[in-house]
Chain A
């Protein structure tokens, strides 16, 4: 019933978790940080570049699971600094153009591997 999603087109997990788990038409995607899957390194010197990489990683996982950005119903965005909110929104809006997912966003004290942004995602189809 539970299906573990794995793709080389998104970064390997950096801890004991799956990239995503699908069950009964709902896909739970782990929080993604801006790791380039080809190098395993964090990329981007600013939040725009980092947000772009995070959303590309999410796209690769969605695709592997047979979903698309249009199926996303909820995102949670973790920033290290609320000052990056607007810049993050600009890139984010380019990936979710209509029927935009519900979302929560806030700044946390720290993120894995020193990332500036992490995004967690739920998709349903």
Chain B
């Protein structure tokens, strides 16, 4: 290799490693059986922040929606969130923000009664509202942001 080529290679290596160290790395957090065929990741981590996709009450063991009412659905949604949060190396106490979408605002009280058991102290900031409709006819969908 010519001397000039070596110099160029040296600078190329410096540039590549330099850009790697400053670039925030985007990391996909995936679970085995939660997103089949849908164009999103269960969660994305960048730096120390974790963005979770909206979760509905699909039991990951069966791939089926829990059909037995808002309380059981809220419980399954938060189980799914907890599984993703923990898979990423975070804990539920790292969750800073949730958005709760309900198919009927009448579910607000029952949803809260389950929700509070997952966030017993320093609960995250939150907004909650009723929408027209949720994927797969779900009664509740929750997305979240966690930071550690």
Which residues of A80-125 are within 8 A (CB) of B?
A: 80-82, 85, 89, 92-93, 96, 99-109, 122, 124-125
Contact of B40 among A102, A106, A125 (CB under 8 A): A102
Among A102, A103, A106: residue with most chain B CB under 10 A: A102
Are the CB atoms of B24 and A125 closer together than 8 Å? yes
Which residues of B22-58 are within 8 A (CB) of A?
A: 23-24, 26, 28, 38-44, 46-47, 49, 51-54
CA distance A93 to B40 in the complex (A): 8
Are the CB atoms of A71 and B26 closer together than 8 Å? yes
- Interface size range on B against A: 20 to 34
Are the CB atoms of A102 and B43 closer together than 8 Å? yes
Are the CB atoms of B54 and A96 closer together than 8 Å? no
Interface flag for B116 (CB, 8 Å): no
Are the CB atoms of A107 and B134 closer together than 8 Å? yes
Which residues of B96-140 are within 8 A (CB) of A?
A: 99, 101, 131-135
Are the CB atoms of A75 and B44 closer together than 8 Å? no
Are the CB atoms of A82 and B24 closer together than 8 Å? no
CA distance A74 to B97 in the complex (A): 14
Given contacts A74-B44, A108-B131, A124-B26, contact A96 B39 (CB under 8 A): yes
Are the CB atoms of A85 and B51 closer together than 8 Å? no
Are the CB atoms of A70 and B26 closer together than 8 Å? yes
Are the CB atoms of A107 and B131 closer together than 8 Å? yes
Chain B residues, CB < 8 A from A73: 26, 44, 46, 51
CA distance A100 to B27 in the complex (A): 10
Chain B residues, CB < 8 A from A25: 24
CA distance A93 to B35 in the complex (A): 13
CA distance A75 to B143 in the complex (A): 11
Chain B residue with minimal CB distance to A94?
B39
Given contacts A82-B135, A96-B39, contact A103 B26 (CB under 8 A): no
Chain A residue with minimal CB distance to B27?
A99
Nearest chain B CB to A111 CB, angstrom units = 11
Chain B residues, CB < 8 A from A89: 38-39
Chain A to chain B: the 9 pairs with minimum beta-carbon distance, closest first:
A104-B54, A93-B39, A103-B40, A107-B133, A82-B133, A104-B143, A102-B51, A102-B53, A74-B51
In addition to A85-B135, A102-B43, 19 A-B residue pairs with Cβ atoms within 8 Å of each other are A25-B24, A71-B26, A73-B26, A73-B46, A74-B44, A74-B51, A80-B132, A81-B132, A82-B133, A99-B44, A101-B41, A102-B44, A104-B143, A106-B54, A106-B131, A107-B131, A122-B51, A124-B46, A125-B24
Give 6 CB contacts A-B under 8 Å. Answer: A73-B51, A85-B135, A100-B28, A104-B99, A107-B134, A125-B23
